[in-house]
Chains A and B, each alone.
Chain A
Amino acid sequence: MNNQPLIRLKAITKRFKGVIANDAVDFDLYPGEVHTLLGENGAGKSTLMHILSGLVQPDSGSIEIRGESVNIRSPYDSLRHGIGMVYQHFALVPNLTVIENIILGFEEGLILNRKRTESVLKQIFKEFELSLPLDEKISNLSVGERQRVEIAKALFHRSDVLILDEPTSVLTPIESEELFNTVFSMRRMGKAVVFITHKLKETIGISDRISILKLGKKVAEMSGEDLRQVGEEEGYRRIFDVMFDNTQLPKDTTTIKRSSEEMPILELDQVVCLGNFGEMRLKKLSLKLNKGEIFGIAGVDGNGQKELAEILAGQRKVVSGRLILDGNDITHEEGAGTRTDLGISYITDDRMQEGCALSMSVAENSILRLFKRPPFSRRKIMNKANINRHAEALIREFDIKVSGPDVDVGTLSGGNIQKILLARELSLHPKVLVCNKPTQGLDAKTTRYVKDRLQQESVRGTAVLFISSDLDELLSCSDRIGVLYDGELLDIVNRCDANRENIGKLMLGIRQ
């Protein structure tokens, strides 16, 4: 390692609306190293790197690049200093092609020169063993491909530094391996890589150095080599000790053994449905859901999860096949309202944009599905007192942190908004609860709360369809796991037979 760091962040502090995101954080990066930023959601990892990429301005602190103090006021400045970032929600324009996205911002000259760009890209692709369809629109690419476009873009910009923000959260285990290979070859070329993650295993696997952030503070720096030498168990323990107080150790949710008898409540029979652009998203999918079980749906994002949830919730049409609830064919009883009345509830994965009306109050949001029923309205006239009473009861029961039912939902935190959704759907006492990534973006405590509530619901006899892209989460609380790949249910694995490896392979479409 050289003595001169490529990048040195000194005492970076950043507050958002009074909440501290980075508290005097130091961070440095040397050429040819992989430096991992590890921490829980909300620990300030992304913010720190957004400061380096120019998307966020620090309140105080300084940045040095190659020994010189610099001021990064915009992504433009950052790019010109040779810093490339792969954002968690890719900074790509879906309607433009791969090549257009790659050259955006670095076109060189007014008139686009395709030939020159193509030859440069070919060279880069060869060097880093990448391949991409240059004339395909981004919207037609898989998540893994999109990530490669961003990496190719950074390489095209001749970045010396590549920042990867939670890159593996959207990848299958095998795609992750490919990504790591790319990272290693970049390291060989003397480039520096910052790797943001909250996953321990890959952290130990690929890092030269690890910085651990907790509540905006840097709490430790470790050497990856040391951790690999002491063995996996001990390595985990060391990191755990720093990341969590002992009391906070996330325990695996307790297993509740249920009777093994199968009582199917919901049945999907050869269901076919289309996506938003008329493409086939579910291909003759069949599935039986039993009373009182949690059925996990694993799969990489975009393999039909959302469509599966939406046909059950009545928000999407079934093209062919049947849906049977409690012995009755409900295929053609469409519409979210109808399905709610039939006893199917749905917690959407898009809680902000779809799940609630941010500019309306908690009370008004709590009855979004119930407003037509007494006692909330009679003869089309709303009863405000009853609505408020209902909302207050839910606030108490679900421990929602809000000063009263009249507060706008938009002012609450993501975790509390998710609790409102959970409360709203559970207050319907559904027979079937469909939830799509219900813990996404929540802190550890709320995640645990949500999972516990789902467990309780299933004990009460509700069938829970639990869709998630987080394999560990599924393994910890599902009774059975079905793997969705390209609109098909490849296999259903019982909890006792499921492990990261066999499910991971299925997620990639590899059958045993």
Chain B
Amino acid sequence: MKQILYDKAAPAANSILSVISAFVVGGVILLFIGKNPFTLYGQLFLQGMGSSLGVIETIIKMAPLLMVSAGLLVAFSGGLWNLGVEGQFLMGAILTGWLAPKLVPFLSLPVYFITLGGIGFAGGMIWALLPAILKARYNLNEIIITLMMNYVALNLVTWMVKGPINDLSVVPAQTKLIPMTHRMPMIPFTRIHLGLIIGLIVIIGVYWIIRRTTMGYQIRVLFANKRAAIHTGMNVKRIIVWSLLTSGGFSGLAGAIDVLAIKGLFQGGWNPMYGITCIPLVFLARLNGWAVIPLSYFFSFLVVGGEFVARDQGVPVFFVHVLEGLMLLSFAAGEHIGKGRVT
């Protein structure tokens, strides 16, 4: 990761080129499976960016992407590979889906939202705790542990909604429905819920923390050179735990808000796989919080547009993941070419 990220002077050119080359290779793949890439991409942009439905859906979907990306930003800035955002997201979501209906009678609305936000955040943190401790204490590779935690979470939440916390009145396994009065409020005069505003605040806040506070400074030093951090007296273990927990927390918060705003309950087998979307996103943003915002819009558009196109053009939604994988690869390749040019 060291060689790839954090080139202050590097322009956005590589990120844009990565996106373009992913689209080009994706186009070749479309040809290969017998689809016309021009029609498909045309429809993608037309429906995703050209229709008010597409634009609004895209903006709504930005909220979780912003929050998960904020979490990844904290971890990646410290050189920590938190690949467990999906599990952390699910834990935040299921705790919220489970506890929200129980809290409805007891809490006033503002307290209710703040409590549930906290619960979602805590859910994500809990799911990041083990990798954080193992990384800090034994320097155990967090990549594998966070990935494994995803699989545990996926099966665990399915088990939970089928059994212990099931709303037994309905057939598909799910939690109790949250009443409409207790869903996330909308931004006035729109159909867009407040999660977008929260997401924007979170990403900018996180970026400010990383750039301007002593904790953020220590995280960046950890990224640049762990031995130097130890050498100059930083408490590396604390930094690792702090950043991984915070990272998990924001993913959990994203889960909480998705449940409160869109789903209204937690359903068995639900996994929006934001990790696959947000990891390339944060790379393309080059760990810059401001760049995350337009990229979130773009990736959200891909997901939303991809769903439309899947319906109309018969190209399965997996195609968006194909593009995302290609973006990661072309981003890495672009860094290599960029390096070659400098020297």
Chain A residues close to B by CB (< 8 Å): 17, 313-315, 335-340, 346, 348, 350, 353-360, 364, 368-369, 371-372, 377, 380-382, 384, 408
- Inter-chain pairs besides A354-B225, A356-B225, 9 sampled, C-beta below 8 Å: A338-B233, A353-B225, A354-B227, A357-B221, A359-B224, A371-B218, A380-B215, A381-B212, A384-B212
CA–CA, A353 and B228, complex, Å:
7
**A337-B233 contact given A17-B343, A359-B2, A360-B221, CB 8 Å threshold:** yes
**Closest CB in chain B relative to A342 CB, distance in Å:** 11
Closest Cβ neighbor of A352 among chain B residues = B225
Residue pair A380, B230 in contact (C-beta under 8 Å): no
Residue pair A358, B224 in contact (C-beta under 8 Å): yes
Residue pair A371, B214 in contact (C-beta under 8 Å): yes
Residue pair B214, A337 in contact (C-beta under 8 Å): no
Q: Does B6 contact A (CB under 8 A)?
A: yes
**Closest CB in chain A relative to B207 CB, distance in Å:** 14
CA–CA, A350 and B230, complex, Å:
13
Residue pair B230, A336 in contact (C-beta under 8 Å): yes
Q: Which of B35-87 contact A (CB under 8 A)?
A: none
Closest Cβ neighbor of A377 among chain B residues = B214
CA–CA, A357 and B214, complex, Å:
16
Residues of B within 8 A of A346 (CB): 231
**A348-B224 contact given A372-B214, A377-B214, A382-B214, CB 8 Å threshold:** no
Residue pair B225, A315 in contact (C-beta under 8 Å): no
Residues of B within 8 A of A371 (CB): 214, 217-218
**Closest CB in chain A relative to B33 CB, distance in Å:** 42
Q: Which of B223-255 contact A (CB under 8 A)?
A: 224-225, 227-228, 230-235
Residues of B within 8 A of A337 (CB): 232-235
B221, B233, B343 pick with most chain A CB within 10 angstroms: B233
Residues of B within 8 A of A360 (CB): 220-221, 224
CA–CA, A360 and B213, complex, Å:
16
CA–CA, A313 and B220, complex, Å:
23
Q: Which one of A313, A357, A380 contacts B225 once the chains associate, using CB atoms below 8 Å?
A: A357
Binding site of B, secondary structure by majority: helix, strand, loop or mixed?
helix
Per-residue 0/1 for B188-221: is the Cβ within 8 Å of any A Cβ (1 yes, 0 no)?
0000000000000000000000001111011011
Residue pair B212, A382 in contact (C-beta under 8 Å): yes
Closest Cβ neighbor of A408 among chain B residues = B8
Residue pair B213, A380 in contact (C-beta under 8 Å): yes
Residues of A within 8 A of B230 (CB): 315, 336
**Closest CB in chain A relative to B136 CB, distance in Å:** 15
Residues of A within 8 A of B232 (CB): 336-337, 340, 368-369
Residue pair B231, A382 in contact (C-beta under 8 Å): no
CA–CA, A368 and B220, complex, Å:
11
Interface residues on B, range: 20 to 34
Residue pair B233, A354 in contact (C-beta under 8 Å): no
**A354-B212 contact given A359-B2, A369-B233, A371-B217, CB 8 Å threshold:** no
Residues of A within 8 A of B214 (CB): 371-372, 377, 380-382
Per-residue 0/1 for B258-283: is the Cβ within 8 Å of any A Cβ (1 yes, 0 no)?
00000000000000000000000000
**Closest CB in chain A relative to B287 CB, distance in Å:** 12
CA–CA, A339 and B231, complex, Å:
11
Closest 4 CB pairs of A and B: A337-B233, A357-B224, A336-B233, A368-B232
**Closest CB in chain B relative to A384 CB, distance in Å:** 8
Residues of A within 8 A of B215 (CB): 380
CA–CA, A408 and B2, complex, Å:
14
CA–CA, A357 and B221, complex, Å:
7
B2, B224, B228, B230 pick with most chain A CB within 10 angstroms: B228
CA–CA, A443 and B214, complex, Å:
36
Residue pair B213, A381 in contact (C-beta under 8 Å): yes
Q: Which one of B228, B233, B235 contacts A357 once the chains associate, using CB atoms below 8 Å?
A: B228
Closest Cβ neighbor of B220 among chain A residues = A360
List 29 A-B pairs, Cβ < 8 Å. Answer: A17-B343, A313-B231, A315-B231, A335-B233, A336-B233, A337-B233, A337-B234, A340-B233, A350-B227, A353-B227, A354-B225, A355-B228, A356-B225, A357-B221, A357-B228, A358-B224, A358-B225, A359-B2, A364-B217, A364-B221, A369-B232, A371-B214, A371-B218, A380-B213, A380-B214, A380-B215, A381-B212, A382-B214, A384-B212
Residue pair B213, A354 in contact (C-beta under 8 Å): no
Residues of A within 8 A of B8 (CB): 408
Closest Cβ neighbor of A357 among chain B residues = B224
CA–CA, A364 and B177, complex, Å:
51
Residues of B within 8 A of A358 (CB): 224-225
CA–CA, A335 and B234, complex, Å:
8
Residue pair B231, A348 in contact (C-beta under 8 Å): yes
Residues of A within 8 A of B220 (CB): 360, 364
Residues of B within 8 A of A356 (CB): 225, 228
Closest Cβ neighbor of A356 among chain B residues = B228
CA–CA, A350 and B231, complex, Å:
11
CA–CA, A346 and B231, complex, Å:
9
Residues of B within 8 A of A372 (CB): 214
Residues of A within 8 A of B221 (CB): 357, 360, 364, 368
CA–CA, A340 and B6, complex, Å:
29
Residues of A within 8 A of B225 (CB): 353-354, 356-359
**Closest CB in chain A relative to B176 CB, distance in Å:** 41
Residue pair B224, A336 in contact (C-beta under 8 Å): no
